[in-house]
Chain A
Amino acid sequence: MADINLSRITKSFGDYRAVNQVSLDIHDGEFVALLGPSGCGKTTLLRLLAGFEEPDQGVIALGGQAVADPANGVMINPEARNLGIVFQSYALWPHMSVARNVGYPLEVRGLGRAERDAKIAEALSIVALEPYADRSPTELSGGQRQRVALARCLVMEPRAVLLDEPLANLDVHLRETMQQAFLDFHRRTGATMIYVTHDQAEAMAMADRIAVMDKGRIRQVAAPETLYREPADHMVAGFVGAGAVLPIGDVSMRGTGRCSVRLGEAAIHARICHKAANNSDGQDLGLCLRPEDVWVDEAGTLRGSVEDCVYLGGRFRLQVRVDSDQILPVYATRRARIGETVGLVISDGWVFDRSEGEAA
C-alpha cells in the first residue's frame, strides 16, 4: 500500500548536486537505513521524500501515486503526505508543553480530547517521558527532547516514518533501549521506516536493507549481511565494517562466483562478484577481507609482522603488516608481541570491481 519509489531523483543547490540520480524502491513495511558519511545528501533525500524540497528531476511515488514529479507539474504538500519526520534538530515548539507537542498531530486531525490524551500517554510511555508531560521542551535535556520528537512522530501513525539521525544525542544505554523501541514499533505497526544515520552498527542492527550513499549517489542497496559480505565497490567496502581492502591484480577463476587470488606467498580462495568476474583483464580489482575470516596459524603461508594488538574482551585484534605496505586486521585468541612475525590463514574473501562506475 505505501510502497515508496524514487526514480532518478536529482536535487541541486546552485551548481552542487546534493542528490544525484537516485533511484530507490522501498517496500511497504520495510525498514531501510540511509547510511553515508557526513554531507553525502542523506538529509536532503529525506527532505525530498517529506516534501520540503522539490526535486529538479525524477519522480517520487508514495503507494503508487506520484507526490513529486516536476516533469508533470505534480508536487503534493508535506502536510498531505502523512509522513512522520523526526528532525536532526528536534524542532520542538518551545511555546507548547511536552504533551501538547506530542499531541499536536492528533489535534490537527481533530481527535477528541479523551482519545488524544490516551494516545499521548501511550506515546510518552514508549519513550519513558510520562513524568515530563507538563514541562516545557526548553526544560528538557537534549536526549529527552529527541524522545519527545520521536513520540510526536509515533503518535500520528504515519504511512512512513522518516528519521534523521534520531539517536545521535543519546547515551549508549538509552540508544539501545530506543533502538529496541523503534524495532518494536516497527513490528507492531508495520510502518515503513526510513532511518538516516552515519552509524553503521546502528544501521546493521536495525535495518532490513541499507542504502549506502556517497556524494549524492546511492552506491549500494542491500541487506546488512550482503552489504557486509559482498560490498559492491570500493567506497562501500571501505565504509562498511572493519576490514581491509587490498588492491589485487592476479585473479584466476575457480568456477562460478569463486576465484583464487595471490597475496604475497599465499593463494586465497575468495568469492568474486559478477561484474568483477567479467572484468577479465583483472584491472582495478579489490579484495575485501573481514577480520573474522583471517586466523593466526603458524602453518599459514602468508607471513606478516604484528603492528598493534588490542584486547577486545574474549579475543585480541591484531594489525598485521603483510607485503610491506598492506595492513590486515586479524582476530586472535592469544596476545602477540609488537613486531612478532606470525603466519596467517585466510578462509574467505570478496573480490570486487574497484572502478568507480555506476553503482550496482
Chain B
Amino acid sequence: MQAASRLRGFMPGFASPTVGNRSLDRLLPWLLLPVFVISILPIARLAIEGVFVGGVPSADYIRDVLGSSTTWRATANSLYTAGLGTIISLLIGGAFAFLVALTDIRAKAVLVFCFMIPMMIPPQITALAWVQLTGPSSALLNALGMAPPMGSPQPFYSAEGIALLLGIQHASIVFLTLRANLRMLPREQIEAARLAGARGGRLWWQIILPLTSPGLIAGTAMAFVTALGNFGIPAMLGIPANYSTLPTLIYQKLAGFGPSVLGEVSVLAMLIGTIAILGVAVHHRLLGKRDYRLMGMVGRPLDIRLGARRTLVEAVLWTVLIAILVIPLMALVATALVPAFGVKLSLANYSFDAFYEVLFVQPSTIRAFHNSFMLSVGAAVTLVAVCLPLAYVIVRRPTRLTHMVNLLVEVPYALPGVVLAIACILLFIRIPVIDVSLYGTLAIIFVAYLARFLVIALRPVMNSFSQLDPALEEAAQACGAGLGRRLRDILLPLAAPSAAAGALLVFLTAFNELTVSALLWSAGNETLGVLIFNLDDSGDTVLASAVAVLVVLVVIALMSCFQLASRRLPKGVVPWQT
C-alpha cells in the first residue's frame, strides 16, 4: 500500500518514457508463448500418439518399441555415428576457425568463403557424390588407375563412412559458432598471457581454449544434435549396408505403414528427443559452470605469427578444403553434364541439355527457387527478429520457464525432418479454435521451418549475449535507455555478427532442405529439396544434379552479393570477412 503510493509519487519526477519501458519489461516473457506454440506444441501433439492406443492412455507402444532390440541397436548406431561425426566436425571446423581468426595465414576471406559451401550441398547429394567417387566404378579413380577392384566393398557403406560425411557436412556449424566467439576475444587477454610467459601450446591450451570454450561447447552441441537428426547421409550409406540409425529406422517404419505406425514413430521420436535434450543439458551444465564474460574492448583482431610453419599450415588447410569441397562438387558437375545417366563423360560428349531442360522447359524449377528463397529468407529474418529478445530473456532473466524453453526448442531441430513434418500435419491439418487448415499451403512449411531452425538462430545470439561485458548494457541503462532502446542501440549491434551468422546458417540450411518439406509440399508449393529429390527418385539423376549445381551457383552468387555489400554492413556481419 505504502509502497504503491511512494512509487506513484516518485514516477512524475522522472522521464515519462520509462513507463513504457517498464511495461516492455513485463511483456518480454510473453515472447515465450509463440515460441511455445510453434516449436513445442507440434511435438507434444505427436507425443500424444505414442501414449494413447485407440484413444486410451497406454504404454503399449512404449513397451513394444523399447523392448525391441532393433531400437537399441539403432540408438547405439545413432550415438556412434553422431558422436564420431561431431568429433570430426570439431576437428575440421575448430582448426579452421582458430587458424582463420587468430593467426596470420593469408587469403582468409577466400578460405572462409569456400569453407561455407559444403554445407550448401544437400546431404544426400554429397553422399551420392562420395559413393560415385570412391567405389570400384568411380570415374575419377578409374581415370587415375587407382580404383579398387570390381566387387570390393564400398568403403563409405559403413558406420565410419557415415560419421566422416556427417563430420564434413557439419564442420561449418562448429566453424561459424566458434568464429563469432573468437571475434569477441579481446586482444589484451591473450597478450597478457603471452607476457606471463605462455607460449605455443600452453597459450592455446590454457588461455585461448578455455576463453573460447563457450563457443566450442555450443558448436559441438549443435553439430551433435544436427548429426543425430540427419537422414540423408545414413539413408544413402547405411541402408545398403543394413546399418540403421534412429532416423532411418523411423523412415523404414513409415514406409511399412500399418495401424501402429504413428504410435511407434512417436515413441522413437521421443527417444531421439530425449537424447538431444540430454546432449543439450550436458552442454548447459558445462556452460553454466563458466562465466567467461570477456572484459575489455572487443574488435581488434589478433594475428598470432605462425612464422616458418605458415606455408605448411596453409597447404594443409587448402588440401582439406579441396577434399571436402572440390571433389564432391566436381562429381556433381560431371553428373550434370553427361548426356544421359550412366554414359561416361568425356570432352567430346558433354552437354548443357539438362540445364536447358530444368531452366526453360520445366516451370517447376523457377517456382521451386522462388518458394525456397521466400521460405528461407523469411525464416532467417523472422527467426533473428525473434531470437534477439528471446536470447536476452533466456540469458539475462533466467527463470525455470526459460530453462525449460531453452531445452525444448532443441527438440524440433534434433528430430528427423519427417517426424517434425508429421507432427505439424497432425497439429495444423485443422487448427483447433479457429478451424483453419494450413495443410497444402506454403504456410505449413514456413511454420515447420520456424520450429526447426529456431535453435540455429538462437544459439549464436545467446552465446554472444552471455559473453558481453554487462557493464556495456548497464552504461546504457544509466543513460536512461529502456529495454527496447538497449536492445536496439547496444545489444543488437554488438550481437550483430552472431545474429548474422545465425541468419546465414538458417538461410543455408533451409534453402535446400528436403526432409521437412518432403511430406508438407503440394503442387505449386514445392521446394528445391523436394524438386531435386523427386527428379532423382524418378530416375532423372542428371536433371537432379543440374538443379543442385544451379542451387550451389545461386548460393555462391548470393554470398558474393553479401561480400560486395560488406562495407556498408556492421563489422563482422559477413562471416567470412575479418
Contacts and interface: CB of A to CB of B under 8 A. Distances in A.
Interface of A: 50-52, 63, 65-67, 69, 72-74, 76-85, 87, 89, 91-96, 104-105, 107-109, 136-138, 145, 149, 152-153, 156
Contact of B15 (A51, A74, A80, A93): A80
Nearest to A100: B489
Closest 10 CB pairs of A and B: A72-B3, A91-B471, A105-B479, A91-B475, A95-B493, A80-B18, A65-B10, A78-B477, A85-B478, A80-B14
Contacts of B6: 65-66, 69, 72, 74
B288 interface: no
Interface string B1-31: 0110011011101110010011001000000
B480 interface: yes
A92 B494 CA distance: 12
Given A76-B10, A80-B22, A93-B494, 8 more contacts: A65-B6, A69-B6, A77-B482, A79-B480, A80-B14, A82-B15, A89-B296, A93-B476
A84 B479 CA distance: 7
B89 to A, nearest CB: 31
Given A78-B477, A94-B299, A137-B297, A108 B485 contact: yes
B469 A91 contact: yes
B474 interface: yes
Contacts of B25: 77
A179 to B, nearest CB: 22
B210 interface: no
B3 A74 contact: yes
25 contacts: A52-B477, A65-B9, A66-B3, A72-B2, A72-B3, A76-B14, A79-B18, A81-B478, A85-B474, A85-B475, A87-B474, A89-B469, A91-B469, A92-B297, A93-B475, A94-B298, A95-B493, A95-B570, A104-B489, A108-B481, A138-B297, A138-B298, A138-B300, A145-B297, A156-B480
Residue among A50, A77, A84 with the highest chain B CB neighbour number at 10 A:
A77
B555 interface: no
A105 B480 contact: yes
A293 to B, nearest CB: 44
A73 B3 contact: yes
B480 A109 contact: yes
A77 B21 contact: yes
Contact of A78 (B7, B478, B493): B478
B28 to A, nearest CB: 13
B472 interface: yes
Residue among B10, B25, B476 with the highest chain A CB neighbour number at 10 A:
B10
Nearest to A83: B478
B282 to A, nearest CB: 25
A79 B478 contact: yes
B370 to A, nearest CB: 35
Contacts, number: 116
A191 to B, nearest CB: 14
A177 to B, nearest CB: 24
B7 A74 contact: yes
Contacts of A149: 475
Nearest to B297: A138
A94 to B, nearest CB: 5
B21 to A, nearest CB: 7
Nearest to A159: B13
A81 B489 CA distance: 20
Nearest to A164: B471
A136 B570 CA distance: 13
B359 interface: no
Contacts of A107: 489
A184 B76 CA distance: 73
B102 interface: no
B122 to A, nearest CB: 37
B239 interface: no
Q: Size class of B's contact patch? A: 35 or more
Residue among A92, A93, A149, A156 with the highest chain B CB neighbour number at 10 A:
A93
Nearest to A104: B479
A132 to B, nearest CB: 15
Contacts of B296: 89
A82 B14 contact: yes
Residue among B9, B469, B481, B482 with the highest chain A CB neighbour number at 10 A:
B481
Contacts of B11: 80
Contacts of B477: 51-52, 77-79
Residue among B2, B471, B472, B481 with the highest chain A CB neighbour number at 10 A:
B471
Contacts of B490: 93
Nearest to B475: A91
A51 B473 CA distance: 13
Given A66-B6, A69-B3, A82-B14, A89 B471 contact: yes
Given A91-B469, A93-B472, A50 B478 contact: yes
Contacts of A84: 478
B32 interface: no
A89 B295 contact: yes
A136 B298 CA distance: 11
A201 B25 CA distance: 43
A202 to B, nearest CB: 22
B474 A91 contact: yes
Given A76-B10, A80-B18, A91 B480 contact: no
A95 B573 CA distance: 12
Contact of B475 (A73, A77, A87, A95): A87
B18 A77 contact: yes
A274 to B, nearest CB: 37
A136 B490 CA distance: 15
Interface string B240-277: 00000000000000000000000000000000000000
Contacts of A104: 476, 479, 481, 489
Contacts of B474: 50, 52, 78, 85, 87, 91
A94 B297 contact: yes
Interface in B492-516: 493-494, 496
Contacts of A137: 297
A203 to B, nearest CB: 23
Contacts of B570: 95
A69 B494 CA distance: 34
A36 to B, nearest CB: 21
A52 B21 CA distance: 16
Contacts of B471: 87, 89, 91
A130 to B, nearest CB: 21
B483 to A, nearest CB: 8
A278 to B, nearest CB: 39
Contacts of A156: 479-480
Contacts of B480: 79-80, 82, 105, 108-109, 156
Interface in B452-478: 469, 471-472, 474-478
A303 to B, nearest CB: 50
A128 to B, nearest CB: 21
A136 B476 CA distance: 17
B188 to A, nearest CB: 10
Contacts of A153: 478
Contacts of A108: 476, 479-481, 485
B297 A79 contact: no
Contacts of A66: 3, 6, 10
A76 to B, nearest CB: 7
A153 B578 CA distance: 33
A63 B13 contact: yes
Contacts of B18: 77, 79-80
A137 to B, nearest CB: 7
A134 to B, nearest CB: 16
B7 A152 contact: no
Contacts of A87: 471, 474-475
A78 B472 CA distance: 14
Nearest to B2: A72
A107 to B, nearest CB: 8
Contact of B494 (A63, A78, A80, A94): A94
